[in-house]
Amino acid sequence: MSVPSAVSRTAPIAIAPKPSRFPPSRQGSINNFDSHSKFRTGIDSPDSDSPNGHAPVPCEACLRRRFDCVISDDEEVCVGCQLNGTGCSLAESPQPRKRKLNGEEENSHSKRSSPGWPDNRRPRHHQASLSSTAATASSSLIEEMANFGGPTLLKRTLGLQTDRYSQYIGPTTDFEPSLINLSPFDPHDESLLARGTLRKVSEHDTFLMLPDYNTPGHDHVLDDVEEIESIVAPYGRRLIDLYFRIVHPGFPIIQKTVFYEKYERSYREFSPPLLAAIYILAINWWDHSEELAPLQRPNVRELERLVRVTLADAMYRPKLSTVQAGLLLSQRPEGDQWAPTAQLVAIAQELGLHLDCSGWKIPPWERGLRKRLAWALYMQDKWGALVHGRPSHIFSPNWAVQPLTPNDFPDVEWEENDIEEKMEVERGRTLFDQMVQLSQVLAEILETFYTLQATQAVANAGIQGTQLVLSLAKPIQLKLKEWYAALPAAVRMDSTFQVSSNNTPLNRLSSIGYLHLAYYAAEITLHRRIIRSIDASSSTARGPGGSQGVDPYIQHICRSAAKARLISAMDFVNRLTPSHLRAFWYFASKTNFALIGTFGSLLWATAPGREEADWYRRRLGEYRWTLSVSSKPGEGKGLTEFAMGMLDITTGLLKQLPEKPLLSRSASVADIDAARRQSLLALGDLSGVGSMSGLSGIDGYNSGGLPSAEASGMQSPRSPGGSESSDEGMYANFSATAGMAGLGE
């Protein structure tokens, strides 16, 4: 993205403390915090000359910032106010706004234009250029400000500096890497150039650091924060508590302890879009708080307007908080749009989130935060590509992020004596990690079957397209099976984590539902491709001059496996409890619920006979009823209403299908039996040939040649009271299908 030109510096920003050139009496106070990701907010300020040797009275802005004024020789205002383009009380100018050094941004502001402008956006007047005196003093002042208070947590960060943002220097830009390596870097790995300050984080990775203060909208950041807080006041803290109690455990992209430390000091320390995004999400559970439920909800539309404006401004000076805000906004019920995902991916690449930061010269906690944000963005891209049917933006050749480890999560996020909260945090981390792993399998499904190149390859295979699809699907199917079998106990649907140490049910919401729903969505996405290829091959064979279509027995096994998946997915939805339904659901869940109905409609449409079509019609009716009683409260149209709407649309389209033939059960059984014999004879294996009339005792099929309700998985895999053998049998049938297609192991 285009970035406004930066004001060049005459010296690199130092990180380590420099000996102060001011008397000890002039040193500002420093607020110290403990070692758990805490940092200092107090700063010192440069002294100013005074005729009587005493410090002059500081202006109101510097007093509020705990700065001392530096008065230039030819001006009546202090250098700090000149640098920030704000009014100075020494010149009887309008009172300037506060300026805070914090973990998100360093904000300096002037009064915003009066209200009364159109609701979409108020005009923002950019500050005038710095005077010559201020420009001369600016670089030295910035350098001194970077050293005030000694080394702090944020001064060595890359993506959360208080006054600068970073741009990754790629290998093909106008910066030649070999020339960068010739630059004279100081002990803090920085080198000043005319365009900005180079920051070297590893032997091969370098960033360009640019100042925040001359980017669009920077002079209104504090005004935005104040306006956001005024909308939710006086319930901001309660909404923060709701967010960390409900959303954060299942989506841990923010460090809870650091966030609370900053919020206790001042909400002004946060990036406006991040604070607004947290409030917007938390309001969805307004009724879940006994204190808030009787009260009127804040104006969410106004918050959404502000977050759109402030996030657009933040993209000019992207930081990790910008990605956090974008990811949280995408989790809104109506926030799953595709275009913002593309913007987030671009911002993340600007910040170098796609790189391996394991050995970078940044604080360890920032490395962990970067990895969590990177994988959260990866999930956003892959599941967004699925639900929107769009090409993914992230590909493995340009993705070097290492797998998550326990060290990538905050060390302390619970009360020491609260065992249940500790279990909840650990389960949330496990949930997030497992969702990342499942997303990688989904990425393989999308790349293997749903890219334009993959679609064309199957089309070019003609009548052999189904066999090609089956050969590609088998290893992915096994990966899904292994992933599910290896799920940790903490995130299983029948998890013992649902009860406390004294065996009483926990009154906590659980987000593990979105993980299991995503698993079924991935399975359905794979089987949809198989069913489509079978139907396409059968249509070709039925056409004029068509050759023999898919082997009837292979077709039968594929449809049986698909039916088993559908029943298991529907049963999973039926077993969701209020503690699941009222919890946080990942943004793709709304569409994943709908995909179950879409898959059933596909099987209905491609059913060879009237009996099978009627069976799917009845099951889809039952599924719609389940959705109607599983509505998630507090989210507008809700989670399952969308799925019901899509189900009504697809079933309405199915009414346009021509009447299907009424197949004879005995004839269909005989046809499948003959096809099975032919397939096994072709493979030189007669051991599995038997009378189809006895198929009800083999692979769980009934006398009609279709999976029985019991064998098809009326319970989802590993569910209480369900049989895992049905799921294993489905995989066995799937593998056998691939083998009979001549695809081998």
Domain edge (last residue) among 301, 335, 369:
335
- 132/174: higher pLDDT: 174
pLDDT for 179 beyond 80: yes
pLDDT tens for each residue of 299-330: 999 999 999 999 999 999 999 999 999 999 99
pLDDT tens for each residue of 328-358: 999 987 777 899 999 999 999 999 999 999 9
Cβ(314)–Cβ(322) below 8 Å = yes
62-67 average pLDDT score: 60
Residue 631: pLDDT band with limits 50, 70, 90: low
d(CA 361, CA 146): 18
* Residue 155 maps to a domain: no
Residue 696: pLDDT band with limits 50, 70, 90: very low
Q: What is the pLDDT of residue 28?
A: 36
173-200 average pLDDT score: 88
Same domain, yes or no: 617 and 582: yes
Q: What is the pLDDT of residue 481?
A: 96
Q: Which of 84-93, 420-429, 497-506, 622-631 has the lowest mean pLDDT?
A: 497-506
Q: What is the pLDDT of residue 629?
A: 86
Question: Which of 15-19, 400-404, 652-656, 726-730 holds the top average pLDDT?
Answer: 400-404
* Residue 226 maps to a domain: yes
Q: What is the pLDDT of residue 76?
A: 62
- 423/71: higher pLDDT: 423
* Residue 63 maps to a domain: no
Same domain, yes or no: 417 and 465: no
689-702 average pLDDT score: 32
Same domain, yes or no: 652 and 570: yes
* Residue 581 maps to a domain: yes
- 476/729: higher pLDDT: 476
* Alpha carbon 607 to its chain's center: 37
Pairing between β-strand 196-200 and β-strand 190-193 as defined by DSSP bridges: antiparallel
576-586 average pLDDT score: 91
Q: What is the pLDDT of residue 606?
A: 93
Q: Which of 319-333, 345-359, 409-423, 646-660 has the lowest mean pLDDT?
A: 409-423
Choose among 354, 344, 442: nearest CA to 401.
354
- 365/547: higher pLDDT: 365
pLDDT for 143 beyond 70: no
Same domain, yes or no: 415 and 306: no
- 425/311: higher pLDDT: 311
Same domain, yes or no: 697 and 661: yes
* Residue 176 maps to a domain: no
d(CA 390, CA 388): 5
Burial-class residue 175 by CB neighbours within 10 Å (0-12, 13-18, 19+): middle
For residue 706 the two structure tokens come to 């279709």
Same domain, yes or no: 312 and 390: no
Q: What percent of the chain has pLDDT over 70?
A: 63
Same domain, yes or no: 657 and 720: yes
Write the DSSP assignment of 74-101 as a string of letters.
Answer: T-SSBHHHHHHT---GGGTPPPPPP-B-
Give the CA-trace dihedral at 378, 524, 696, 677, to 10 degrees.
-90
Amino acid present at 379 = M
- 458/720: higher pLDDT: 458
Same domain, yes or no: 476 and 398: no
* Residue 399 maps to a domain: yes
Q: What is the pLDDT of residue 334?
A: 76
Let me know how many helices (H) and strands (E) the chain has, helices first: 23, 4
Choose among 335, 376, 338: nearest CA to 354.
376
Same domain, yes or no: 565 and 601: yes
Domain edge (last residue) among 275, 303, 335:
335
- 690/603: higher pLDDT: 603
Q: What percent of the chain has pLDDT over 90?
A: 45
Q: What is the pLDDT of residue 6?
A: 40
Q: What average pLDDT is seen over the chain? A: 74
For residue 564 the two structure tokens come to 């088993």
Domain edge (last residue) among 279, 302, 335:
335
d(CA 457, CA 443): 18
For residue 601 the two structure tokens come to 């409609």
* Residue 206 maps to a domain: no
pLDDT for 558 beyond 60: yes
Cβ(224)–Cβ(310) below 8 Å = yes
Triad 541, 543, 549: Cα angle to 5°: 5
Q: What is the pLDDT of residue 228?
A: 97
For residue 603 the two structure tokens come to 């099987």
Q: Which of 334-338, 600-604, 630-634 has the lowest mean pLDDT?
A: 630-634
Pairing between β-strand 164-168 and β-strand 206-211 as defined by DSSP bridges: antiparallel
Cβ(680)–Cβ(710) below 8 Å = no
Query: How far is the CA of 719 from the CAs of 96, 495, 727, in angstroms?
Result: 62, 10, 11
- CA max distance for the chain: 111
Q: Which of 411-415, 567-571, 735-739 has the lowest mean pLDDT?
A: 735-739
Same domain, yes or no: 326 and 376: no
For residue 44 the two structure tokens come to 């010192």
Q: CB 74: neighbour CB atoms within 10 A?
A: 7
pLDDT for 703 beyond 70: no
Q: How many domains does the chain have?
A: 3
β-sheet bridge partners, residue 197: 192, 209
* Residue 150 maps to a domain: no
553-568 average pLDDT score: 94
Q: What is the pLDDT of residue 617?
A: 95
Q: Which of 96-110, 564-578, 694-708 has the lowest mean pLDDT?
A: 694-708
pLDDT tens for each residue of 13-50: 333 333 333 333 333 333 333 333 333 333 332 333 33
Same domain, yes or no: 574 and 671: yes
**Phi-psi category of 362—alpha, beta or left, where left has phi over 0 and alpha has psi -120 to 50?**
beta
Question: Which of 140-154, 440-454, 490-504 holds the top average pLDDT?
Answer: 440-454
Instruction: Please give the residue range of the domain that contains residue 313.
Output: 215-335
Same domain, yes or no: 546 and 662: yes
pLDDT for 373 beyond 90: yes
pLDDT tens for each residue of 501-554: 454 445 678 999 999 999 999 999 999 999 999 988 766 555 554 445 678 888
